[in-house]
Amino acid sequence: MNLQLFAEDRDSKTEKATHKKRQEARKKGQVFQSREITSATVLMFAFLSLKAFGNIMYKEISAITVRTLTQNLDMDGYFNIKGVSLLFLEVMKSLAIITGPILVISATAGFLGAYSQVGFLFTAEPIKLTLDRINPFQGFKRLFSPRGAVELLKAVFKIGITGYIAYRYLNGETANIISLMELEPKQTGIYIYNTSINAAVKICFALILFGVADYGYQWWEYEKNLRMTKQEIKEEYKQVEGNPEVKSRIRQKQRQMSMRRMMHEVPEADVVITNPTHYAAAIRYDTDISDAPIVVAKGEGYIALKIKETAREHNVQIVENKELAQTIYKTVDIGEAIPPELYQAVAEILAFVYNVKSS
């Protein structure tokens, strides 16, 4: 027999990752997401922002240019600390008006794109410095790994998508592009601005669809990398649930201790009701403890035989009542009082026992 086959099966990662393994991976920042979706979404909303706020941005750029070139001609008042400070504040205000909407919308789109895939996650594990990250051999290994080949194919595919959509869109605008020679410079600029943004939005939308497909690939690769061997699952189960052999021995010890305590109560019982070999229930009636008789021991099979044996050794009366013994065993726990519906039957047996003892 080839024992190596058993070793390979033992070490092969064929099992899905457990919940604990997934939680540990998430804490380390090992989550799956398609960065293509996030980057394409950010770009698309950035271009849409340019289209929506382009008029406001144009007016603000024109205004700051005019003010700078016409209202600040006083060189003595311009080149000093106060003049430069005022100019700086004015430029920063205009810059905020020009770029603010794009930055806010793009940042929001990026956050929502990542959050929708990963959820809220904060961990410093991915940025920790490790030797593998600065090892050039590991870098070359990652570069020429299957994942590196996939990333190269993705980059080539994105370039192809971008070029194809741009070509198709601009090819449809050929007649308008030729007529640009008849337009004024301002109208030409507006046309080029709108055409470029429309083409960019179409490209971004196609990249988002590509990102959806990439999301499926990332999920497949993530699940593949998280797979566990059967031995790893066993070891994890031992850590979480405890060693089954140890737990079995503990339960056995607990049963033995419980049986000893129960057997110590049998000599104090007033009567043992049997069925006659399958079930046995020892009952004690003490008005100082309870208003009703209490089951101090019960058992089935071997335990029932031990209860009867102990009862004989200590001269405890044994009474055969098949239905009552079976009912007590199945409905009353050790230490509990007899339920009211059994009072009559148990009282008759106790009266019989007391008569026997007094005679």
Highest mean pLDDT among 2-6, 38-42, 57-61: 38-42
Residues 6 or more apart whose CB falls under 8 angstroms from that of 36 comprise: 154, 158, 207, 208, 210, 211, 214, 215
Query: Does the pLDDT at position 69 exceed 60?
Result: yes
User: Pairing state of beta strands 317-320 and 271-274?
Assistant: parallel
In this prediction, residue 131 carries a pLDDT of: 60
Which of 157-166, 174-183, 193-202, 220-229 bottoms out in mean pLDDT, i.e. has the lowest?
Answer: 174-183
Query: Does the pLDDT at position 6 exceed 60?
Result: no
Query: Does the pLDDT at position 5 exceed 50?
Result: no
In this prediction, residue 233 carries a pLDDT of: 78
Residue predicted with more confidence, 127 or 302? 302
Question: Is the CATH number of domain 263-358 3.40.1690.10?
Answer: yes
- As a dihedral over the C-alpha atoms of residue 116, residue 122, residue 127, residue 132, rounded to 10 degrees, the angle is -80
**Quick one: average pLDDT of 68-89?**
68
- HEC-encoded secondary structure of the chain: CCHHHHHHHHHCCCECCCHHHHHHHHHCCCCCCCHHHHHHHHHHHHHHHHHHHHHHHHHHHHHHHHHHHHHCCCHHHHCCHHHHHHHHHHHHHHHHHHHHHHHHHHHHHHHHHHHHHHCCCCCCHHHCCCHHHHCHHHHHHHHCCHHHHHHHHHHHHHHHHHHHHHHHHHHHCHHHHHHHHHCCHHHHHHHHHHHHHHHHHHHHHHHHHHHHHHHHHHHHHHHHHHCECHHHHHHHHHHHHCCHHHHHHHHHHHHHHHHHHHHHHHHHCCEEEECCCCEEEEEECCCCCCCCCEEEEEEECHHHHHHHHHHHHCCCEEEECHHHHHHHHHHCCCCCECCHHHHHHHHHHHHHHHHHHHC
**Quick one: average pLDDT of 96-112?**
88
In this prediction, residue 3 carries a pLDDT of: 45
Residue predicted with more confidence, 121 or 77? 121
In this prediction, residue 7 carries a pLDDT of: 47
Give the mean pLDDT of the chain. Answer: 81
Query: Does the pLDDT at position 79 exceed 70?
Result: no
**Quick one: average pLDDT of 248-271?**
81
Measuring CA to CA, which residue among 341, 344, 350 is closest to residue 281?
A: 350
Sorted by where each begins, the domain ranges of the chain are 18-237, 263-358
pLDDT tens digits, 218-229? 888 888 888 888
pLDDT tens digits, 293-305? 888 888 888 888 8
**Quick one: average pLDDT of 260-286?**
86
d(CA 285, CA 236): 50
Which of 5-14, 134-143, 149-158, 177-186 bottoms out in mean pLDDT, i.e. has the lowest?
Answer: 5-14
**Quick one: average pLDDT of 263-271?**
87
Query: Does the pLDDT at position 199 exceed 80?
Result: yes
Tokens of 215: 């999301």
User: Could you tell me the pLDDT band of residue 11, with boundaries at 50, 70 and 90?
Assistant: low
**Main-chain dihedrals φ then ψ at residue 301, nearest 5 degrees:** 65, -120
C-alpha angle with apex 139: 136 to 141, nearest 5 degrees?
A: 115
Long-range CB pairs of 76-80 (<8 Å, 24+ gap) are none
**Quick one: average pLDDT of 3-26?**
68
Query: Could you tell me what percent of the chain has a pLDDT over 70?
Result: 84
**Quick one: average pLDDT of 47-76?**
78
In this prediction, residue 1 carries a pLDDT of: 44
Tokens of 185: 């410079």
In this prediction, residue 130 carries a pLDDT of: 62
C-alpha angle with apex 262: 244 to 328, nearest 5 degrees?
A: 100
